[in-house]
Amino acid sequence: MSAIDFYTQQITISSIFSRLVSGIFSNGLVRIGLKKRHMDLQTIKAARIARPEGKAGVGASSMVHDLGSSGGDIIPLKNYLDSQYLGEIGIGSPPQNFTVIFDTGSSNLWVPSSKCYFSIACYFHSKYKSSWSSTYTKNGNFCEIHYGSGSISGFFSQDNVQVGDLVVKDQVFVEATKEGSLSFILGKFDGILGLGFQEISVGNVVPLWYNMVQQDLVDDEVFSFWLNRNPEAKEGGELVLGGVDPKHFKGKHTFVPVTKKGYWEITMGDFLIGSHSTGLCEGGCAAIVDSGTSLLAGPTPIITEINHAIGAEGRVSAECKEVVSHYGDLIWELIISGVKPSKVCSQLGLCLFNGTSGIESVVEKEHKEKSSAGNDLPCTACQMLVIWAQNQLREKETKETAISYLDKLCESLPSPMGGSSIDCNSISTMPDITFTIGDNPFSLTPEQYILKTGEGVAQVCVSGFMALDVPPPRGPLWILGDVFMGVYHTIFDYGNLEVGFAEAA
Alpha helices in 223-317 (DSSP H): 300-310
From the candidates 290, 376, 482, 493, give the one annotated as an active-site residue.
Answer: 290
How far, in Å, CA of 225 to CA of 239, rounded? 5
From the candidates 5, 103, 159, 190, give the one annotated as an active-site residue.
Answer: 103
The answer to whether 415 touches 369, Cβ cutoff 8 Å, is: no
Backbone φ and ψ for 204, nearest 5 degrees, come out as 55, 30
Q: What is the DSSP string of 273-300?
A: ETTEE--TTTT-EEEEE-TT--SEEE-H
Question: 237-260: b or e for each residue (b if 16 or more CB lie within 10 Å)?
Answer: bbbbbbbbbbebbeeebbbbbbee
How far, in Å, CA of 265 to CA of 286, rounded? 7
Do you know the residue count of the chain?
Answer: 505
How far, in Å, CA of 75 to CA of 237, rounded? 9
Q: Report the half-sphere exposure of 27 (CA within 13 A, side-chain side).
A: 15
How far, in Å, CA of 305 to CA of 312, rounded? 10
Whether cis (ω within 30° of 0) applies to the bond prior to 476 is: yes
The answer to whether 136 touches 143, Cβ cutoff 8 Å, is: no
Which of 186, 180, 173, 165 shows the shortest CA–CA distance to 17? 165
The answer to whether 109 touches 171, Cβ cutoff 8 Å, is: yes
DSSP letter assigned to residue 200: G
The answer to whether 255 touches 62, Cβ cutoff 8 Å, is: yes
Whether cis (ω within 30° of 0) applies to the bond prior to 341 is: no
Which of 305, 314, 310 shows the shortest CA–CA distance to 280? 305
Q: 159 an active-site residue? A: no
Which of 479, 478, 487 shows the shortest CA–CA distance to 8? 479
How far, in Å, CA of 172 to CA of 210, rounded? 12
How far, in Å, CA of 389 to CA of 387, rounded? 5
The answer to whether 88 touches 36, Cβ cutoff 8 Å, is: no
Backbone φ and ψ for 322, nearest 5 degrees, come out as -65, -40
Q: 245 an active-site residue? A: no
Give the three-state DSSP class for 490: strand
Q: Report the half-sphere exposure of 167 (CA within 13 A, side-chain side).
A: 12
Active site residues: 103, 290
